[in-house]
Amino acid sequence: MNAVCKNRSNLKRALFTLALLAALPLALAQRAESQSNSAPAGMSFSHDARGLEKQYEPLLKAYSKGDDEAIDKEFSVFLIPDEDKWFSSYFDAADVNQLKQTYQTKADAYKRSFVNITTKVLHTSSRFHAHCTPPDPNHQTKVQPRPDAPKPTRDVPVEQFHIEFRSDDGKKFSQRANFVYVDGAFRYLGNGAYPFWSMPERPKKTPPEAEN
């Protein structure tokens, strides 16, 4: 009887150990993802337009060099560190998965858009710098938010900036972008008059200015 109890106890300990080992890779992956999206060690960007300009500099430098690995690394700072936690804290649980998927799609498109604009539209490989300012408070947008947009359960501290990208050879383009300041850095939430969950999809023939 004692031997049976001892075997059962050993089996339970073995199963518990296996469960821990199975869960460990997932926990480490989630921690690594969160850390990779953190501001660089020992650094946080000031919570103002100058801080956002400084945050863009390493990314724009990587773009000018065409360094895909560096682009991925520097762009990660613009991503929400823990998407599950962040979206769950502002939206209903039923909306979180769709929001995460849409967010990843929008963020990937934003990362690609800089190369498309500079090489295919402006035809330059020159180094760009960001000049950021708060939007004109008197500007009235003609764009209406999506009627079916998921509703936050509490106010989201979204901040908008007008960003003008200027190149060393005189080329420039601008955009209005939305951010939330999390863990010492600005996190991208989409271009246009509203954050990505409220911004309607732009018709293909609508000029980009209609986003502002």
**31 within some domain:** no
| Overall number of domains in the chain | 1
Residue 175 DSSP SS3: strand
Q: Is residue 26 part of a domain?
A: no
Residue 91 lies in a domain: yes
* Domain span including residue 151: 37-211
Return d(Cα 125, Cα 12) in angstroms, integer: 62
Which parts of the chain register pLDDT below 50? Answer: 1, 4-5, 16, 18-35, 41-42, 205-212
Is 14 domain-assigned?
Answer: no
Residues 6+ apart with CB under 8 A from 74: 58, 59, 61, 62
Nearby residues of 58 by Cβ (< 8 Å), 6 or more positions away: 70, 74
Q: Which amino acid is at 143?
A: V
35 and 82 Cβ atoms separated by less than 8 Å: no
Domain membership of residue 177 (yes or no) is yes
- Domain membership of residue 25 (yes or no) is no
Q: Is residue 154, in this structure, part of any structural domain at all? A: yes
pLDDT at 8 (0 to 100): 56
